[in-house]
Structure 1
């Protein structure tokens, strides 16, 4: 046993030598994210509190905290000057429209309570980009804030509208998940395009997906995402925009053998089921919500 005791004694002495009480470890209370850091409340913080936290109990975290994101991703913090334009637009397009159609009680009950903001996109190993996520209906993470520009912001160009619409697409998509996780959509929906869902959706274009009766390629990733992609695209593109999508499916068969008529019929059936789900479950006139949402998007971009 002597060699073991000697080894333990040496290790103990080495540890004491390396961690003397006289060593300067720095001010560990100032390490961001460990609870010792403090922030002076700014006008931006007050605006977020008055606009979102006080009326809707929604908190917004824009100060950088890597632990709110996947640790293996390289991301950029959001620019503070982007926070108010982004959250104002979200209130205009998403919060106000749902409250107008369903009331404050509905919105306060089901809306996520925590927004985390990132300046850049989150790239995945398969080459896709994550532009937003939701966790358990409580927290929404939004990416690409630094690219957000509307028509009243310096440097805006028409091509910027795609980035803005994509952000609303993400929010409507994630909120759609929250709704169906509370009350599931009819199982019949899953049979409309059964057998065509695939994990290889990222290698399929929206054009190809629509020829099989999906509104986007991502809708092919699974039943739930198919349902909420319909909600999101129908709201952000408006009724006219959705009609264009359906009517633009070309004649002929897809690579899976789906005819133009069948693809269009599938999308129309999905549309009808989304509209009925909102009316039956949530007492919401979807077409009215759609009209309001699209109108607010147009105000921001055109």
Structure 2
């Protein structure tokens, strides 16, 4: 209602102003009163069509739409410039990494979510935790906090925490929902899952109990996909440090679960997680080293 009223008021104001200022001497003919932002957006829309929709059958939505948004949270639309940057990074580091590792351009077309939605702000839960991303039935992934991207300094650690751990996490859900993993995984730490209270644990506590992140402690399915997300977005040094700090029991539990995860990805999907990690990290470095064009589409 307010938007309609604002547009209607703007039309009245423009009509009055233009009607009372018809003296040619007062007209600035050198500058347009209309923004070129829509032209820029149209070019970005064409880029999305060519690089997401036609290539991967993905509809990338960077304009916030009520019917696509979680109305239970107060949210802010994604900034246009930062949406362009993130769209290019997601394509290079996530989509094209799977293309490269599978050697099959149809793999993602078949299994990737049909919609990716950018939201500018984070979404906060009542317990104070911040939602970094959501997936809906394997059909849609929403990425929050897009406006936190700093175009002047692309920090891959932040991008991993906010976006790429989420992307790999949610995509892994789609894979195991399509072809389930060995149920023996669920039994390894079946008495240690704590549901919605996961946020009360810190990272090192989680490691010692046999989980790669506190969120992995929520339930077995989240535990399974967190193993994939954390493995492919972090270096071997990080993973080994985690195992070293997990203690004897924690290390054994993590390793036992990860063996199932690793074999599942290789035997079910033909994806070697070591090769995927190497590809993802190399592509991350290409972003950080400025080897990928992240300029605004105009």
TM bucket normalised to smaller: 0.7 to 0.9
Aligned residue number for residue 170 of structure 2: 174
Q: 1:48 Cα deviation (Å)?
A: 0.9
Match of 1:246 among 243, 248, 264: 243
The answer for unaligned runs of 5 or more in structure 1 is: 1-25, 32-38, 250-259
Question: For 1:248 and 1:90, how far apart are their aligned partners in 2?
Answer: 31
User: Do structure 1's residue 277 and structure 2's residue 264 form an aligned pair?
Assistant: yes
RCO higher in structure (CA 8 A, sep ≥6): 2
- Greater CA deviation, 264-273 or 229-238? 264-273
User: Do structure 1's residue 193 and structure 2's residue 189 form an aligned pair?
Assistant: yes
- Aligned to 2:193, the other structure's residue is in SS state coil
User: Do structure 1's residue 146 and structure 2's residue 141 form an aligned pair?
Assistant: no
Distance 1:93 1:248, change over 3 A: same
Which structure would you say has the larger Rg? 1
Question: For 1:182 and 1:27, how far apart are their aligned partners in 2?
Answer: 44
Q: 1:299 Cα deviation (Å)?
A: 2.8
Q: Deviations over 1:137-163 (max 9, x none)?
A: 1111110101123xxx31x27xx4432
CA contact (8 A) 1:79 1:119 kept: yes
TM-score after normalising by structure 1 = 0.79
Where do 1:91-106 residues align within 5 Å?
Answer: 91-102=91-102, 103-106=104-107
The answer for unaligned runs of 5 or more in structure 2 is: 9-37, 290-298
Where do 1:213-228 residues align within 5 Å?
Answer: 213-228=210-225
Q: 1:178 Cα deviation (Å)?
A: 0.3
Aligned residue number for residue 108 of structure 2: 107
Question: For 1:239 and 1:162, how far apart are their aligned partners in 2?
Answer: 15
TM-score after normalising by structure 2 = 0.80
Q: 1:292 Cα deviation (Å)?
A: 0.6
Distance 1:283 1:79, change over 3 A: same
Aligned residue number for residue 203 of structure 1: 200
CA contact (8 A) 1:78 1:119 kept: yes
Q: Deviations over 1:241-299 (max 9, x none)?
A: 211211233xxxxxxxxxx2111111112221111001111111221111111222233
Aligned residue number for residue 27 of structure 2: none
CA contact (8 A) 1:239 1:291 kept: no
Aligned residue number for residue 158 of structure 2: 163
Aligned residue number for residue 232 of structure 2: 235
Aligned residue number for residue 122 of structure 1: 123
CA contact (8 A) 1:147 1:163 kept: no
Aligned residue number for residue 296 of structure 2: none
CA contact (8 A) 2:204 2:245 kept: no
Question: For 1:196 and 1:248, how far apart are their aligned partners in 2?
Answer: 19
Question: For 1:234 and 1:287, how far apart are their aligned partners in 2?
Answer: 8
Q: 1:27 Cα deviation (Å)?
A: 7.0
Question: For 1:60 and 1:43, how far apart are their aligned partners in 2?
Answer: 14
Distance 1:68 1:27, change over 3 A: closer
Q: Deviations over 1:116-150 (max 9, x none)?
A: 1100100000111111111111111110101123x
Question: For 2:264 and 2:236, how far apart are their aligned partners in 1?
Answer: 17
RMSD, aligned α-carbons: 2.0
Aligned residue number for residue 66 of structure 1: 66
